[in-house]
Amino acid sequence: DAGVTQSPTHLIKTRGQQVTLRCSPKSGHDTVSWYQQALGQGPQFIFQYYEEEERQRGNFPDRFSGHQFPNYSSELNVNALLLGDSALYLCASSLPTGPGTFGSGTRLTVV
Amino acid sequence: AQKITQTQPGMFVQEKEAVTLDCTYDTSDPSYGLFWYKQPSSGEMIFLIYQGSYDQQNATEGRYSLNFQKARKSANLVISASQLGDSAMYFCAMRPSGGYQKVTFGTGTKLQVIP
């Protein structure tokens, strides 16, 4: 039984570009949450998707957007990348009230 | 607003000894859940243990137990019989009860187990 799968594992982008990160949830999970983890910090909640709708959002600008597909997989899009967007981006899947199962993350470097 | 505080940036423990990782929290929500996650150097967050705010007993999962003191707003993780594989970052987190609630994480504690 596959856990949470994230792609790509590493990514280097130039400031001002746009990036799309992908997440496939664990089998049986229908809720996907995204987190940003800067070096040496704890994960910061970006947003959560359930039934293809954004249900909760953290304190992130509109440059951060997402989507959930009918098969529960999800994408995180970041526009107009800043150097400060460099971080590990974690996806977690769950049932709506359960603890999250995390993927290994996508490490984004903005240069 | 919710806040999680982990005051120990780093901890050392001898193999086979027990260790306590501290976590205090602040919230105005009447009902909430507390979590601990382990993050090895690979980056994946591994769920360890959960405590509901209205649970009467402290949670236990194998070598992990959660020392929950609601009045003091603390939720310390106790790892018994430490193993070399326990070396990792440990994060305390909380979430209000009910669906679609965001999870707030602390800044983590780096645990190193010494042979």
Does B48 have pLDDT greater than 90?
yes
CA B69 to chain centre: 13
Does B43 have pLDDT greater than 90?
no
Q: pLDDT (tens digit, 9 = 90+) per residue, B68-102?
A: 999 999 999 999 999 999 999 999 999 888 766 78
Exposed, middle or buried, B55 (CB in 10 Å: 0-12/13-18/19+)? middle
User: Do the beta carbons of residue B98 and residue B54 sit within 8 Å?
Assistant: no
Instruction: Give the tokens for residue B47.
Output: 């769920």
Point out which residues pair with B36 in neighbouring strands: B49, B92
Contacts of B98 in chain A (CB under 8 A): 97
Work out the number of other CB atoms within 10 angstroms of the CB of residue B53.
18
Contacts of B103 in chain A (CB under 8 A): 33, 45, 100
Query: What CA–CA distance (Å, rounded) separates B14 from B68?
Result: 24
What is the greatest pairwise CA distance in chain A?
A: 38
Handedness of CA B97, B26, B4, B77 (dihedral sign): negative
User: Do the beta carbons of residue A2 and residue A68 sit within 8 Å?
Assistant: no
Provide the pLDDT for residue A2.
65
Percent of chain B with pLDDT over 90: 81
Provide the pLDDT for residue A107.
96
Question: Which band of pLDDT confidence, cut at 50, 70 and 90, is reported for residue B56?
Answer: confident
Does B18 have pLDDT greater than 60?
yes
Provide the pLDDT for residue B100.
64
Provide the pLDDT for residue A99.
76
Please provide the DSSP assignment of A5-56 as one string.
Answer: EEE-SEEEE-TT--EEEEEEPPTT--EEEEEEE-TTS--EEEEEEETTEEEE
Which of A44, A56, A101 lies closest to B101 in CB terms? A56
Provide the pLDDT for residue A1.
56
Contacts of A35 in chain B (CB under 8 A): 105
Q: CB–CB of A99 and B47 under 8 A?
A: yes
Handedness of CA A105, A24, B101, A60 (dihedral sign): positive
**Range 34-53 of A in CB contact (< 8 A) with B:** 35, 40-45, 48, 50
Query: What CA–CA distance (Å, rounded) separates B92 from B78?
Result: 12
- Does B50 reach chain A within 8 Å, measured CB to CB? yes
- Does A87 reach chain B within 8 Å, measured CB to CB? no
Question: Which band of pLDDT confidence, cut at 50, 70 and 90, is reported for residue B63?
Answer: very high
The predicted model gives A25-34 an average pLDDT of 93
Work out the number of other CB atoms within 10 angstroms of the CB of residue B29.
15
Q: pLDDT (tens digit, 9 = 90+) per residue, A56-111?
A: 899 999 999 999 999 999 999 999 999 999 999 999 998 866 778 899 999 999 99
Contacts of B99 in chain A (CB under 8 A): 50, 55, 96-97
Amino acid at A36: Q
Q: pLDDT (tens digit, 9 = 90+) per residue, A40-53?
A: 899 999 999 999 99
